[in-house]
Amino acid sequence: MHPTFAGVFDDAEKRYLPTDSLKEIHRYVKSVPLRINLYRMLRDNEVKIMQVVADRLVADFETTETAATIERSLQNGLLLMRHCAMAMLMDNSQQLEPQLLNWLRESMQIHGTETVDASLYGYLRQVLAKVLNPQQLPLIDGLLTQAQGYLAGTETTQTTASPQTAVNQ
């Protein structure tokens, strides 16, 4: 659940919701069908999407990286994509908990996948830009950008706005 909603619903015992809170809830509820459809599309097409990314990575890195490095990068990319999809569905960028992102960053450093990972996220965003419609793309792209920035050490998990702002009001 969106973190703001938890506080709003806790206040129900004390008072009726103010207009701003009702508007925020209305925007979220209005976006739920779009979020569910996007989540289903990502879930149902995960293999196709990641296969395009995998093919590009192999073409780029088959002579400079081991198959194990490329495979590890793809596994981490899948994990991150699933977490981003859940964060999008829940409209909660905090779903990308620092523990997950810290673990992924450490894994990237330990296994030396940073170069492959950087290409993976770029290719993933390119593929998503082709398969998602203009309403869907901002819902997931912001979360991927947030995670990619954090993993690259250029952003924290707390600085990115909720993808809810991408939904038409």
Q: Could you report the per-residue pLDDT of 99-128, keeping only the tens digit for each?
A: 788 888 888 889 989 999 999 999 999 999
Q: What is the pLDDT of residue 157?
A: 44
Split at pLDDT 50, 70, 90, the class of 2 is low
pLDDT at 154: 65
Separation of CA 87 from chain center: 6
pLDDT in tens, 130-140: 999 999 999 99
> Which among 48, 69, 70 has a CA at the least distance from the CA of 57?
70
CA angle 149, 82, 27 (to 5 degrees): 80
> Quick check: 96 and 146 in contact, CB under 8 A?
yes
Asked if residues 83 and 42 have their Cβ atoms less than 8 Å apart, the reply is no
- Kindly tell me if the per-residue pLDDT of 152 is higher than 70: yes
Summarize the confidence of residues 55-83 as an average pLDDT: 94
Alpha-carbon distance 25 to 29, whole Å?
6
Q: Residues near 20 by Cβ (< 8 Å), separated by ≥ 6?
A: none
Is residue 11 a part of any domain in this protein? no
The mean predicted confidence, pLDDT, of the chain is 85
Q: For the whole model, what pTM was predicted?
A: 0.82
- In-domain check, residue 139: yes
Give the list of residues 6+ apart from residue 23 with CB closer than 8 angstroms, or none: none
Q: What is the CATH number of the domain that holds 48?
A: 1.10.490.20
- Kindly state whether residue 7 falls inside one of the protein's structural domains: no
Domain count, the chain: 1
- Give the number of residues written for the chain: 169
Task: Domain of residue 64: give its range.
Answer: 21-162
